[in-house]
Amino acid sequence: MKNLKEILSELSRGCVDILPEGELEKKLLIAKRENRPLRVKLGIDASGPYIHLGFTIPLRKLKKFQEFGHTAVLIFGDFTGKIGDPTGKNKTRPQLSDEEIKENLKNYKEQVFKILDPQKTEIRLNGEWSDKLSPQDIIKLSSKMTVARMLERDYFEQRYKNGVPISLHEFLYPLFQAYDSVAVKADIELGGTDQKFNLLLGREIQEEYGLPGQVVMTLPLLEGIDGTRKMSKSYDNYVGITESPTQIFGKLMSIPDNLITKYMLLTTDIPEDRIKEFEKEMKEGKNPKDYKVILAKTIVQMYYTKEESDRCEEEFKRIFKEKGLPDNIPLIKVSKEDKNVKITNFLKKYKLTESTSEASRIIKGRGLRINNVVIDDFNFQYTPQKGDIIQVGKKKFAKVD
RNA sequence: GGAGAGAUUCCCGAGCGGUCAAAGGGGGCAGACUGUAAAUCUGCUGGCUGAUGUCUUCGUAGGUUCGAAUCCUACUCUCUCCA
């Protein structure tokens, strides 16, 4: 049995804030005294439940709580999803239909239980209670918040300054989210650092409704594989946990060096002191690539198997060190008419490029190889032969069948 | 309700009635160098095409004009100020 100190240190690994300070310890003590599990809340957007490495950070934290006997309460934002969240400027997200929500929920569950223990997980749809709120309830809820405080938030402040429209209902979002905490009687809520305000609001609203306020734990946002913007599907810089081992491995190998240890700390169970050693070794001049391999292998192993991770490593070596070819080159079936076709048309026809213009651009840039021979003439007449290897840029391969 | 400002290509942002497929930056793609890293350098960055050109693009719909992103009208949306 671990003592309280050890538990606290494991639970706070990677956390940015635990607010109010010291409260987590109190909650843990209360749970022990009352012999009941803590209810740890995490919200997810119903519109795109595609779980990438960034989102595994809070999920893994939740798992940690489960290991210590507590209950994970996942809030699936079907209510908010139905209203349609206007994120950007001109894009008002389409409202989700009931079927879409159902479908998303199904996919979500599948992925989430790759990490969480289903026995200790409670999945709730916030429509359950939000749908039932009357206008009076909503007014009462809104009266707990002032416009000035809303506008203080970075997110709104910037948009307001830049003249980007803010719809009124966007102000309601944090309130509904906060109300979720009331509804599920959360003891703790997890979220990214960008959620700090919302999470704290949850605490306040709980107190307004006569409940003990939740403890807020914020976790860092993980930069995507481009190393700058936060990991997100819309930036196409994500590593999805349901992607193929090869993809996961490859993507992780392309993250910038300075993120290696951050990824380790947040997305794996590699012990913190080991990570510190790695850091030191890299500073002393060891090749960061080797540590990246450790990271990539660890993660592939977490979501697949040890064998897969070994295979990925070997394949990676073969492709990039020895400039060999990947294992699974997609085959393209060419038809008999494909004789002496213009190469640009060919590339477009088989979706190797978006357009013929893109094809000629790549050809001009010396990015096209057939059987390892650079083709730099965009008027090249191509007659595909079975077994030809076509390489477009660094990453796209195809084999003629 | 009133007054003003604005909507440009993936994003930000220039843009005299013709020489504008539209400056510049960001992002992206490709190449060199590497460790499929970072940094740096180079090229490209609407579609189709025999590269010559051609078609579609500047909030939407009309109009003026030989010719419009640029002028006019209406509409839609946004912002700011006043009440």
Residue A378 contacts residue A344 (beta carbons within 8 Å): yes
Q: What's the mean pLDDT in A302-306?
A: 94
CB neighbour list of residue A27: distance below 8 Å, 6 or more residues apart? A38, A187, A188, A215
Confidence of residue A90 (pLDDT cuts 50, 70, 90): very low
Measure, in angstroms, how far nucleotide B70 C1' is from residue A237 CA: 39
Confidence of residue A98 (pLDDT cuts 50, 70, 90): confident
Judged by C1' against the alpha carbon of A259, the nearest nucleotide is: B37
Judged by C1' against the alpha carbon of A361, the nearest nucleotide is: B44
Three-class DSSP category at A232:
coil
Confidence of residue A157 (pLDDT cuts 50, 70, 90): confident
Sign of the four-CA dihedral A118, A69, A184, A52? negative
Instruction: Strand B: list positions under 7 Å from protein Cβ.
Output: 12, 27-32, 35-38, 43-51, 77-80
The closest of A212, A206, A217 to A34, measured between CA atoms, is A212
Question: Interface pTM (ipTM) of the complex?
Answer: 0.81
What burial letters (b/e) apply to A123-146, b meaning 16+ CB within 10 Å? bbbbbebbeebeeeeeeebeeebe
Which CATH architecture does the domain made up of A243-323 adopt?
Answer: Orthogonal Bundle (1.10)
The 10s digit of each residue's pLDDT in A104-151 is 899 899 999 999 999 999 999 999 999 999 999 998 998 988 888 888
Residues of chain A with CATH 1.10.240.10: 243-323
SS (H, E, C) A32-82: HHHCCCCEEEEEEECCCCCCEHHHHHHHHHHHHHHHCCCEEEEEEEHHHHH
CATH class of the domain at A331-400: alpha beta
Q: What are phi and psi of A12, to 5 degrees?
A: -95, 5
Sign of the four-CA dihedral A351, A354, A355, A358? negative
Confidence of residue A316 (pLDDT cuts 50, 70, 90): confident
Task: Tell me the C-alpha distance between A330 and A335, whole Å.
Answer: 16
Please give the CATH topology (third level) of the domain spanning A4-224: Rossmann fold (3.40.50)
Judged by C1' against the alpha carbon of A229, the nearest nucleotide is: B27
Beta carbon of A319 within 7 Å of strand B?
yes
Judged by C1' against the alpha carbon of A226, the nearest nucleotide is: B37
Count of residues for chain A? 401
Range among A75-79, A212-216, A236-240, A383-387 rated most confident: A212-216
Which residues 299 to 318 of A reach strand B, CB within 7 A?
316
* Strands annotated E in A176-297: 188-192, 215-219
What does the pLDDT read at residue A377? 84
Nearest 10 degrees: Cα torsion A363, A368, A370, A376:
30
Residue A13 contacts residue A272 (beta carbons within 8 Å): yes
Confidence of residue A330 (pLDDT cuts 50, 70, 90): confident
Beta carbon of A224 within 7 Å of strand B?
no
Residues of chain A with CATH 3.10.290.10: 331-400
Q: What percent of chain A has pLDDT over 90?
A: 44
Task: Tell me the C-alpha distance between A336 and A347, whole Å.
Answer: 16
The 10s digit of each residue's pLDDT in A222-244 is 988 888 788 887 777 889 898 88
Q: What percent of chain A has pLDDT over 70?
A: 94
The 10s digit of each residue's pLDDT in A355-382 is 898 998 889 888 898 888 888 888 888 8
The closest of A49, A38, A68 to A114, measured between CA atoms, is A49
At A260, list the tokens. Answer: 């290696």
Residue nearest the C1' of B78 (CA based): A165
Residues of chain A with CATH 3.40.50.620: 4-224
Measure, in angstroms, how far nucleotide B10 C1' is from residue A144 CA: 40
